[in-house]
Amino acid sequence: MSDRILVDAKNTFCPGPLMELISNMKMADVGAELELLSTDEGSAADIPEWVNKVGHEIIESFKEDDVLHIIVKKVK
């Protein structure tokens, strides 16, 4: 999908992938899809934990060339 917002948080330690995702989610419109790229091992667990806790939606999650792609929809 071409109008996905790409959040490239590869090789970043501070603020890190989850904080980058939260910042970008805040700027996005409801209904927008964001694709987060992360090389942080912890992201596979902590991104879905936050997304589910707040009530957004994980559309898809996969690993390609050691980069984790997590596609999230802003629901509210």
Q: Which residues are catalytic?
A: 14
Instruction: Tell me which DSSP letter residue 15 carries.
Output: S
Q: How many residues bind other proteins (CB under 8 A)?
A: 23
How many CB atoms neighbour CB 26 within 10 A? 8
Q: Which helix (H) or strand (E) holds 33?
A: strand 33-38
Query: Of residues 46, 59, 61, 69, which one binds other proteins by CB under 8 A?
Result: 46
Helices (H) and strands (E) in the chain, counts: 2, 4
Output the smallest distance, CB 31 to other proteins, in A.
16
**One-letter identity of residue 4:** R
Residue with Cβ nearer other proteins (23 or 57): 23
The verdict on 67 binding other proteins (CB under 8 A) reads no
What are the residues binding other proteins (CB under 8 A)?
Answer: 7-9, 11-20, 22-23, 26-27, 42, 46, 49-50, 53-54
